[in-house]
Amino acid sequence: MLISVGEQITGHKIIEQKDILFGVADSTEGGMFRRNAIKKLIHAAELVGANAITNLHMEIYQTTPEVTEATAYGNAVVVEQTWGSVSHEVKTITPAGLQPKVDDSPEAEIMDANGYKFVVCPKCKSKYKADIDENNRIRIVGFDDVDDDEPGLQIYCLRCGSKFTVPDSL
Ligand SMILES: [Zn+2]
């Protein structure tokens, strides 16, 4: 729970106002009653789903000659961090079992079957139907080059995850 005596929480923006809440404790509870009042306020804020309290105030009353009462109150709010440690990891989705980067991917073989050409994964022998683009180069529909550093078209095998080079032409 983030608590501030001001209207804002540093580094955060208020995205939802919940309610003005109170926590009350008195000296019959012992010497820590001021702190208890704040604890009760925090508990009340948790119950309404807040993660911060702004405008925290504390009032102390002498209710009887023997008893002092503390009232802590503030605005229960929901805040969101605007800067700092929030980071989103960006992950590229690739087939499972992805191999570490290789600079020299093995070149796939081409095979004929039923009048079609297939590119064959050098590792697991999975077949990918070859298409010929307007420059007479082999392409596989749905696969883009995954390695700009290496010459030619490299793809990841969907089955075994190994990276291989598609032959330039038939
Ligand atoms: Zn494979």
Mean pLDDT, the chain, rounded, equals 86
Average pLDDT over residues 82-88: 57
Which CATH code fits 2-81? Answer: 3.30.110.70
Q: Where are the domains of the chain?
A: 2-81, 109-166
Average pLDDT over residues 116-142: 91
pLDDT in tens, 101-115: 556 889 999 999 888
Rounded distance from Cα 161 to ligand 1 centre (Å): 6
Rounded distance from Cα 128 to ligand 1 centre (Å): 10
Rounded distance from Cα 163 to ligand 1 centre (Å): 8
The predicted structure's pLDDT at residue 29: 83
Rounded distance from Cα 90 to ligand 1 centre (Å): 26
Rounded distance from Cα 89 to ligand 1 centre (Å): 28
Average pLDDT over residues 32-52: 94
The predicted structure's pLDDT at residue 25: 94
d(CA 155, CA 107): 11
